[in-house]
A and B are shown apart, each in its own frame.
Chain A
């Protein structure tokens, strides 16, 4: 008798744990250091999603474990990934702002039976390194290609390309060049400048001397964009009518308030603007601002994180909370939904997000803040980078 009761209890206990587990998600990102703002946006996106959709999926409770990597540091990333999988027993890995950090962890996903949802890192090749990677952000190729069409449509024939000399910058240069030359334009010069450039006057002089009608620029979001845009204006290029084209990294909303009037009229293409006009985005922005505390700090990584959480929730639904990485990833292949940024879907082959890319122009609102105002939509853009590097 006693035995049967014990057995029954044991069965109950077992089934209890099976149906109401705590599912841990490890999020790796830059939460301190020079990119702390972007990490903060990860957290805001995740918090917003959980505030709106609850912290449970079925009977399972979701727990987020944050780990900090201030700058690109793959050795540290690998150590953290390993720790999250082995020690914290996370079922999902997410986050990853920098490409090398993501690349360092992809080789252990299979052995750990853990899918990875990339919420930012924007180099096309990452999805190729493991079949368990899904990306909900963008690639530099994806956001830099449409702007070439914009430039060509505006009647600009000669363009000088100016990018920061590192992986994403080179991606941007290649993407723009490919698309612009296809549209019949000419890249008169391609300059790569060191990441640590503080004074952009000599670069502006180069642009002037090149005789180009327009400039295509890529700099990582953050303080240097301010110097670049100011130098562009101060050196009389704006006044001389030189056109300025860039992917949206250059005018992310959290830098935009500092750029101010200097940035007015700059045209960029990107996957998300905080000012995007849709009911989904309104709900999202409200929740995310509540999470981050200050609207001026809200920027694009938050939406990558928000949609990343959506994908993970779908994965958990599909697997019923069981650890099965392949099944989880298969379940979201082809998944489509309406994100705050617009209609999106996960491409079944590349596991990268297919989304609208918007042409935006920096504008000033009636309350004195600056926004990226969407003026044109390029629908259902995939990642041209993957095809180009194959």
Chain B
């Protein structure tokens, strides 16, 4: 009886892991499909709002990068815009000062700069935990901001970096007023990033990072170095944020200090928490909902919309404490469990 049960259980477990893996891949596909469908819908339904949609894509990359360090590794940061802005400025400076006008090369430059900034930040950030860590991140983003303000011959200072010119993408597609090229470029960038990140968070390395979030001491006892893993993750996160910054620079052809600001970082964090930390879908959902809501209420009442946004945030905490995606997910799991239970009986 008990042996039977054990065998059963083992088989059950094996089946479970199998099902889990299949579930992951299935989810990847679903996620991929959802992004494509939403992107297409956005294009068809709001052909006149492509600039806003492209902006959402750029911020989505920033929020995804934040999710990597905050959601997966448990690093509290209010300074993620330092990485995003580095990418934006790198892409912008390449074009404005070095005459590199190929959007792909500019994006690559942004990704690299973001990664370097990520490395720099990680050196400082990983020296504390919790609240002091949060403050370190704030100090960092202010230092980046101040540096960009000082280096005004390179960055244009507070007047912003303008004079960014672009070749057509692949020599064919112009970045024009209507923003079709920028939008599709952004969608492609986001999809590619999403696929790579899904693979990353599922890889042993991704699991290790989750482990570090849960219990760094145990991870160290298992022989892995939490510090090295976190630095690695920070660099990856920087690359993703840099890609977002570069997309912003390419699509708007101007970069300013706000891309390196505390406010931008805090907004990204709000979007992430709104959507739900620790899952890439949550970050995406949070970004889309927050930015669409903000755009809607600020257009409806440009003078007093902030109160509405505040009310939204409070409502989310009260009614969806795990974030929108997290709460949806657990509701779905509950329904499924009930359903499974009924099926077995």
Residue ranges of A at the interface with B (Cβ–Cβ < 8 Å): 31-33, 36, 39-40, 66-68, 71-76, 78-83, 85-87, 99-100, 103-104, 107-108, 111-112, 123, 125, 129, 165-168, 170, 194
Contact = CB atoms under 8 A, between A and B. Distances in A.
A66 B306 CA distance: 16
A112 B158 CA distance: 27
Given A32-B304, A100-B256, 11 more contacts: A67-B298, A68-B303, A72-B158, A72-B257, A76-B55, A78-B51, A79-B51, A87-B48, A111-B177, A125-B159, A166-B149
Nearest to B162: A103
A161 B116 CA distance: 38
A67 B299 contact: yes
A63 to B, nearest CB: 14
Interface in B112-162: 146, 149, 152, 157-160, 162
A75 B299 contact: no
Contacts of B52: 79, 83
B305 interface: yes
Interface string B286-315: 000000000000110011111000000000
A33 B303 CA distance: 9
B205 interface: no
Given A73-B258, A166-B149, A78 B252 contact: yes
B160 to A, nearest CB: 3
B80 interface: no
Given A86-B48, A100-B158, A74 B255 contact: yes
B248 interface: yes
B179 interface: yes
A95 to B, nearest CB: 11
B55 A75 contact: yes
Given A76-B55, A82-B179, A104-B252, A99 B302 contact: no
A74 B48 contact: no
A110 B293 CA distance: 31
Contact of B305 (A68, A83, A100): A68
B55 to A, nearest CB: 5
What does DSSP make chain A's interface, helix, strand, loop or mixed?
Answer: helix
B159 A103 contact: yes
21 contacts: A67-B298, A68-B305, A72-B158, A72-B256, A74-B258, A75-B58, A75-B258, A76-B55, A78-B251, A79-B51, A79-B55, A82-B51, A82-B177, A82-B179, A83-B49, A86-B177, A103-B162, A104-B252, A104-B253, A104-B256, A123-B159
B298 A32 contact: yes
B298 A74 contact: no
Given A68-B298, A107-B253, A111-B176, A129 B162 contact: yes
Contacts of B58: 75
Given A71-B263, A75-B254, A166-B158, A32 B248 contact: no
A168 B152 CA distance: 13
B259 interface: yes
B106 to A, nearest CB: 15
A364 B30 CA distance: 69
Interface of B: 48-52, 54-55, 58, 146, 149, 152, 157-160, 162, 176-179, 248, 251-259, 263, 298-299, 302-306
A359 to B, nearest CB: 28
A194 B146 contact: yes
A104 B162 contact: yes
Contacts of B179: 82
A99 B55 CA distance: 20
Q: Which one of B48, B149, B177 has the greatest number of beta carbons of chain A within 10 Å?
A: B177
B149 A165 contact: yes
Contact of B306 (A32, A82, A87, A129): A32
Nearest to B177: A111
A37 B255 CA distance: 26
A33 B309 CA distance: 13
Contacts of A79: 51-52, 54-55, 252
Contacts of A108: 177
Given A100-B254, A166-B149, A36 B49 contact: no
A86 B180 CA distance: 12
Nearest to B146: A194
A125 B177 CA distance: 22
Contacts of B259: 75
B259 to A, nearest CB: 7
Contacts of A31: 302-303
Contacts of A68: 298, 302-303, 305
B302 A86 contact: no
For the complex of A and B, the 6 pairs showing the least CB-CB separation, nearest first, are: A87-B48, A100-B160, A82-B51, A68-B302, A166-B158, A79-B51
Contacts of A66: 302
B313 to A, nearest CB: 16
B58 to A, nearest CB: 8
Contacts of A75: 55, 58, 248, 251-252, 254, 256, 258-259
